[in-house]
């Protein structure tokens, strides 16, 4: 693109990678998703079980149930029941460390929750406020990406991309990252991952959140049954939230191994250093 | 092979991330306890209410289910038997002496016996009860249409809310009675009923006997159990904590459509 070339820095090695709107919306999204996830775990703690179906009482045991019990000595023991199998998960699930580091009955540990202790009413306030921040930001991002051709130019895989999926998988497994001209573009796995997150996982988690609202369920009675019912929707909401965490972990891992400061600079100032040959983009 | 510098760099990143996380969490906790921030967050509730009222209004209908979807046992949450001598005396007499008082901004203040409530036009519906905690149960409810009760007492035009005063004290010392409120949109809604039957039997005490409110497009805590007195008001600011309900006074949303 000529406009991109025009804003290229005087330093030939620095390349203008992310536009201002993309940078702003990226960081708003980071904050909103983090808060939605951590308040979501707090909300989950009020009923730490996941069911499949229209209600929680259809005669089937929950898919997952996180609980607490006591051992012979009277110590708290966290128990997670997964498809009928009991696992002792003290410290991680069921019985976890509170803000005061003492073991307490809480599905998730305090360092994963906002507020850091069980407080359903407050967690809901945070959750529904940042849900609006997240949805409005996301809609702006999609509109901008279409209008600015960020979507068609940078995110849509080309035919050549699709043919090189196999090579890209091998490159990722060997932690080999593109250099030179190729480093200016997203690689094919990156494109497909971003598209899946933007157009599948995030809309799905929003929709499943809406499916839990009795008011929104009443707009078109029965629409929730498409996803198996309200309790199924709650389960999907939870699973997709963790898939998003998995995405974030891989995303951050890739950022770290392919030049942490270079990527941070490009998501803050927009400028990305292109390495013309070495194997590491940010070698020092 | 890891060099010493990459090890110490890794340790530095780990510690920085942990410290950053601790500060963020403590920050969120102190924001939660502040006076102003929860009010900012509550604008989300206002937007939700406005959006849902705009989309659904009085008309949208909660999903109704088949009897095959009924939960085998309808879970009791909150109070299972009110710690209240007057209520227990009424229950011992099979609620023969129960009178539902209706007062406030109405033309004809009066009290209804259970037989009189049963004589009002009724509605039967199989609906899903969604608790704010996250679970759902499906039950078959039969009760007096709330709009019929409003017609019988003649709601004045300045009435904006209906307040439900209940028999169950929420404090161990027998004080802090449960109460709830709904607006006139929900009061006139077709599915809003004063339920006296659950699954074809008289409403059990654990589920709110003799009558409980069903306001199907909102969460469970709006469905007041053990309703003793109904009051039509212009504002609920002066009632108990002033937020329109027992749980609302504890920080839960007044509009519980989400």
Q: pLDDT, tens digit, for every residue of A120-171?
A: 999 999 999 999 999 999 999 999 999 999 999 999 999 999 999 999 999 9
- Reply yes or no on whether the pLDDT at B1 is more than 90: no
**A121: nearest CB among B29, B47, B252:** B252
Nearest CA in chain A to B43: A129
3-state secondary structure of B141: strand
Q: Could you say which DSSP state residue A187 is in? A: -
Give the mean pLDDT of A232-246.
98
Banded model confidence at residue A2, pLDDT cuts 50, 70, 90: very low
Chain A residue numbers touching B6 (CB-CB < 8 A): none
B194 to chain A, minimum CA–CA distance in Å?
19
Residue B154 lies in a domain: yes
Number of domains in chain B: 1
Interface of B with A in 69-98 (CB under 8 A): 69, 71-73, 75
Chain A to chain B Cβ contacts (< 8 Å): 147
- Reply yes or no on whether the pLDDT at B2 is more than 60: no
**CATH code for position B229:** 3.90.420.10
For residue A197 the two structure tokens come to 């997150």
Chain B residue numbers touching A54 (CB-CB < 8 A): 65, 69, 128, 136, 138
A159 to chain B, minimum CA–CA distance in Å?
39
A5 to chain B, minimum CA–CA distance in Å?
35
Is the Cβ pair B52, A215 closer than 8 Å?
yes
B75 to chain A, minimum CA–CA distance in Å?
9
Chain B residue numbers touching A37 (CB-CB < 8 A): none
Phi, psi of A227 (to 5 degrees): -100, 15
Q: What pLDDT digit, counting tens, does each position of A12-38 carry?
A: 678 899 999 999 999 999 999 999 999
How much is the pTM?
0.92
Banded model confidence at residue B5, pLDDT cuts 50, 70, 90: low
Interface test with A, best of B134, B191, B207, B223 (most A CBs within 10 A): B134
- How wide is the angle at C-alpha A222 spanned by C-alphas A221 and A227, nearest 5°? 140
Q: How many percent of chain A have pLDDT more than 90?
A: 82
Chain A residue numbers touching B135 (CB-CB < 8 A): 47, 49, 51, 55-56, 231
A71 to chain B, minimum CA–CA distance in Å?
27
Which pLDDT score, from 0 to 100, does residue A11 have?
Answer: 55
DSSP E strand stretches across B131-236: 136-145, 161-169, 177-183, 193-198, 201-202, 212-214, 227-233
Taking the CB of residue A31, how many other CB atoms lie within 10 A of it? 14
- Are B176 and B229 in contact, with CB atoms under 8 Å apart? no
Q: How many percent of chain B have pLDDT more than 90?
A: 89
Residue by residue, DSSP assigns B83-101 as --HHHHHHHHTTTTT-EEE
- Reply yes or no on whether the pLDDT at A280 is more than 50: no
Residue B16 lies in a domain: no
For residue B76 the two structure tokens come to 């009791």
Residue B133 lies in a domain: yes
Residue B170 lies in a domain: yes
Which pLDDT score, from 0 to 100, does residue B139 have?
Answer: 98
Give the mean pLDDT of A47-67.
94
Please list the helix, strand and coil fractions of chain B in percent, rounded to the nearest 5, in that order.
35, 25, 40
- Reply yes or no on whether the pLDDT at A277 is more than 60: no
Banded model confidence at residue A275, pLDDT cuts 50, 70, 90: confident
- Reply yes or no on whether the pLDDT at B154 is more than 90: yes
- Reply yes or no on whether the pLDDT at A238 is more than 60: yes
Banded model confidence at residue A4, pLDDT cuts 50, 70, 90: very low
Which pLDDT score, from 0 to 100, does residue A180 have?
Answer: 83
3-state secondary structure of A43: helix
Q: What pLDDT digit, counting tens, does each position of B63-92 carry?
A: 999 999 999 999 999 999 999 999 999 999
List strands edge to edge, sheet with A76-82: A49-50, A64-70, A76-82, A85-88
Give the mean pLDDT of B22-47.
94
- Is the ipTM here above 0.90? yes
- Reply yes or no on whether the pLDDT at A1 is more than 50: no
**Mean pLDDT across chain B, nearest whole number?**
95
Interface of A with B in 202-241 (CB under 8 A): 212-219, 221-222, 224, 230-231, 234
Residue B93 lies in a domain: yes
Interface of B with A in 5-64 (CB under 8 A): 21-22, 25-26, 28-29, 32, 38, 40-45, 47-48, 52, 55-56, 60-64
Which pLDDT score, from 0 to 100, does residue A14 have?
Answer: 86
Q: How many percent of chain A have pLDDT more than 70?
A: 93
How many Å apart are CA A69 and CA A45, to the nearest integer? 16
Q: Could you say which DSSP state residue B147 is in? A: H
Residue B242 lies in a domain: yes
Give the mean pLDDT of B179-192.
97
**B47: nearest CB among A59, A132, A221:** A132
> Could you give the angle at which helices A230-257 and A188-196 cross, rounded to 10 degrees?
150
Which pLDDT score, from 0 to 100, does residue A282 have?
Answer: 41
Q: What pLDDT digit, counting tens, does each position of B189-213 carry?
A: 999 999 999 999 999 999 999 999 9
Interface of A with B in 29-58 (CB under 8 A): 35, 38, 43-44, 46-47, 49, 51, 54-58
**B134: nearest CB among A46, A116, A132:** A46
Which pLDDT score, from 0 to 100, does residue B217 have?
Answer: 97
Interface test with B, best of A210, A215, A283 (most B CBs within 10 A): A215
How many Å apart are CA A138 and CA A28, to the nearest integer? 10
Which pLDDT score, from 0 to 100, does residue A12 have?
Answer: 60
Residue B27 lies in a domain: no
Taking the CB of residue A245, how many other CB atoms lie within 10 A of it? 14
For residue A136 the two structure tokens come to 């409005």
Give the mean pLDDT of B247-256.
97
Nearest CA in chain A to B222: A214
How many Å apart are CA B111 and CA B109, to the nearest integer? 7
Banded model confidence at residue B4, pLDDT cuts 50, 70, 90: low
Taking alpha carbons only, the member of B210, B225, B224 closest to residue B94 is B210
Which pLDDT score, from 0 to 100, does residue A59 have?
Answer: 82
Chain B residue numbers touching A44 (CB-CB < 8 A): 134
- What size, in residues, is chain A? 284
Residue B115 lies in a domain: yes
**B41: nearest CB among A51, A57, A126:** A126
The reply to whether B128 touches chain A by the CB within 8 Å rule is: yes
Domain ranges of chain A: 2-19+148-273, 49-112
């Amino acid at each position: 693109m000529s406009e991109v070339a025009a804003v290229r820095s005087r330093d030939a090695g620095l390349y203008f990678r992310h536009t201002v709107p993309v940078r702003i919306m990226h960081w708003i999204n980071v904050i909103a998703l983090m808060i939605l996830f951590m308040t979501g775990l707090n909300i989950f703690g009020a009923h730490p079980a996941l069911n499949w179906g229209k209600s929680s009482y259809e005669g089937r045991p929950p898919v997952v149930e996180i609980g607490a019990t006591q051992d012979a000595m009277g110590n708290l023991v966290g128990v997670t029941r997964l498809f009928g199998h009991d696992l002792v998960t003290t410290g991680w699930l069921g019985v976890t460390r509170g803000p005061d580091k003492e073991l307490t009955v809480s599905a998730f540990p305090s360092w994963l929750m906002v507020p850091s202790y069980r407080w359903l009413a407050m967690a809901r306030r945070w959750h529904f406020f940042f849900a609006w921040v997240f949805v409005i930001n996301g809609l702006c991002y999609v509109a901008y990406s279409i209008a600015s051709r960020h979507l068609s130019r940078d995110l849509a895989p080309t035919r050549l991309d699709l043919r090189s999926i196999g090579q890209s998988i091998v490159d990722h497994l060997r932690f080999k990252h593109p250099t030179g001209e190729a480093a200016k573009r997203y690689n094919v796995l990156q494109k497909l991952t971003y598209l899946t997150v933007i157009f599948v996982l995030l809309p799905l988690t929003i929709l499943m959140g809406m499916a839990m609202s009795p008011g929104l369920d009443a707009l078109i009675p029965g629409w929730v049954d498409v996803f198996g019912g309200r309790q199924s929707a709650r389960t999907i909401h939870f699973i997709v939230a963790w898939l998003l965490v998995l995405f974030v972990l891989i995303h951050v891992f890739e950022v770290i191994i392919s030049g942490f400061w270079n990527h941070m600079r490009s998501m803050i100032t927009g400028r990305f250093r292109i390495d013309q040959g070495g194997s590491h983009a940010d070698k020092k | 092979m890891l060099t010493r510098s990459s090890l110490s760099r890794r340790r530095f990143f780990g510690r920085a991330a942990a410290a950053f996380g601790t500060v963020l969490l403590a920050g969120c906790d102190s924001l939660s306890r502040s006076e102003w921030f929860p009010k900012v967050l509550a604008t989300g509730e206002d937007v939700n209410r406005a959006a849902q009222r705009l989309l659904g209004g009085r008309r949208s209908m909660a999903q109704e289910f088949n009897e095959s979807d009924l939960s085998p046992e309808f879970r009791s949450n909150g109070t299972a038997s009110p710690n209240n001598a007057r209520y227990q005396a009424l229950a011992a007499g099979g609620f023969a002496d129960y009178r539902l008082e209706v007062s406030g901004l109405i033309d004809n203040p009066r009290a209804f016996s259970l037989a009189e409530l049963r004589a009002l036009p009724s509605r039967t519906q199989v609906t899903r009860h969604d608790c704010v905690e996250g679970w759902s149960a499906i039950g078959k409810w039969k009760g007096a249409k709330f709009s019929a009760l409003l017609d019988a007492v003649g709601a004045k035009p300045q009435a904006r809310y209906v307040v439900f005063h209940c028999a169950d004290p929420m404090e161990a010392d027998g004080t802090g009675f449960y109460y709830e409120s709904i607006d006139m949109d929900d009061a006139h809604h077709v599915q809003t009923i004063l339920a006296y039957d659950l699954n074809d039997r008289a409403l059990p005490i654990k589920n709110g006997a003799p009558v409980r409110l069903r306001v199907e497009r909102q969460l469970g805590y709006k469905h007041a159990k053990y309703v003793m007195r109904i009051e039509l008001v212009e504002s609920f600011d002066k009632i108990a904590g002033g937020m329109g309900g027992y749980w609302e006074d504890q920080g839960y949303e007044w509009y519980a459509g989400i």
